[in-house]
Amino acid sequence: MLEVAVDCTREPAGSSSESREAVADVVALSHGRSRIAALLVSLVRSLRQGPRMADEAPSKASLVRWWKAFTRKEKERASGKGRVFGVALAESLQYASVAISLVADDGNQYVYGYVPIVVAKCGMMLKETATHTEGIFRVSGSNKRINQLQAVFDAPPKYGKDFDWTGYSVHDAASVLRRYLNALPEPVIPAGLYLDFTAVLRASLGRA
């Protein structure tokens, strides 16, 4: 049986392409130029020559397109464009929101507001599965899963609208919701309206 070992990581000192091809030819001749030897000669030559980068090089136009797309995505990422976490509520509602509607007595459906998708999805999940769970906001979820959820609700074009909660706990949902609220540039209740909200709360408690 003919066995040939090819070491592609080391070159003999002073060797040239002509000498390497000559050695390969000698190997083939010494074995009667059998089909196996001929195939081995071809293999040795292709391995020694290495890849032909010039034939595989991308065109200048494709490189320019790639660079423009890359820099555009980097600018959008740095500016926060298209994101949800850490972005003002008024801005993210333009592309990552769902309608809140109700059915009136006349049977018609009316939309009376919009909320972020992350709030709607987390709120629905907690309403359906966590009404009897204590400390849903006190006990933190898995940091790994929270990061995964943030990536889902922060990614266009659906921003987690069709997300399936399988494999995630109520604490994961509560934690990512809390992270979203904490990351808002301005609180849900703006500082300028804080006293108005507290006045309404005091009035309602006084009537209770």
Per-residue confidence (pLDDT) for residue 128, from 0 to 100? 93
Confidence class of residue 2 from pLDDT cuts 50, 70 and 90?
A: very low
Per-residue pLDDT tens over the stretch 62-115: 777 877 776 766 665 555 568 999 999 999 999 999 998 888 888 888 888 999
Q: Which CATH number fits domain 89-196: 1.10.555.10, 3.60.110.10, 3.40.50.300, 3.40.50.720?
A: 1.10.555.10
Per-residue confidence (pLDDT) for residue 44, from 0 to 100? 52
Q: Rounded to an integer, what distance in angstroms lies between the CA atom of residue 202 and that of residue 177?
A: 27
Q: Which helix (H) or strand (E) holds 117?
A: helix 117-129
Q: Which helix (H) or strand (E) holds 136?
A: none
What residues does each domain of the chain span?
Answer: 17-52, 89-196
DSSP letter for 186, please.
S
142, exposed or middle or buried, with CB in 10 Å at 0-12, 13-18, 19+? middle
More confident call, 97 vs 51: 97
**Are the CB atoms for 95 and 153 separated by under 8 Å?**
no
Q: Rounded to an integer, what distance in angstroms lies between the CA atom of residue 141 and that of residue 178?
A: 11
Say if pTM beats, i.e. exceeds, 0.85: no
Per-residue confidence (pLDDT) for residue 7, from 0 to 100? 38
And the tokens for 199?
A: 């006045």
Residues near 205 by Cβ (< 8 Å), separated by ≥ 6?
A: none
Average pLDDT estimate for 163-173: 95
**Are the CB atoms for 88 and 190 separated by under 8 Å?**
no
Phi first, then psi, for residue 101 (nearest 5°) are -130, 165
Average pLDDT estimate for 54-66: 69
Per-residue confidence (pLDDT) for residue 206, from 0 to 100? 77
- Whole-number average pLDDT of the chain: 76
And the tokens for 202?
A: 């005091």
Query: Is it the case that residue 25 has pLDDT exceeding 80?
Result: no
Residue 20, CA distances (Å) to 12, 34, 37 in order? 10, 19, 15
Confidence class of residue 53 from pLDDT cuts 50, 70 and 90?
A: very low
Query: Is it the case that residue 47 has pLDDT exceeding 60?
Result: no
And the tokens for 150?
A: 């943030």
Per-residue pLDDT tens over the stretch 123-143: 999 999 998 888 899 999 999
Query: Is it the case that residue 61 has pLDDT exceeding 50?
Result: yes
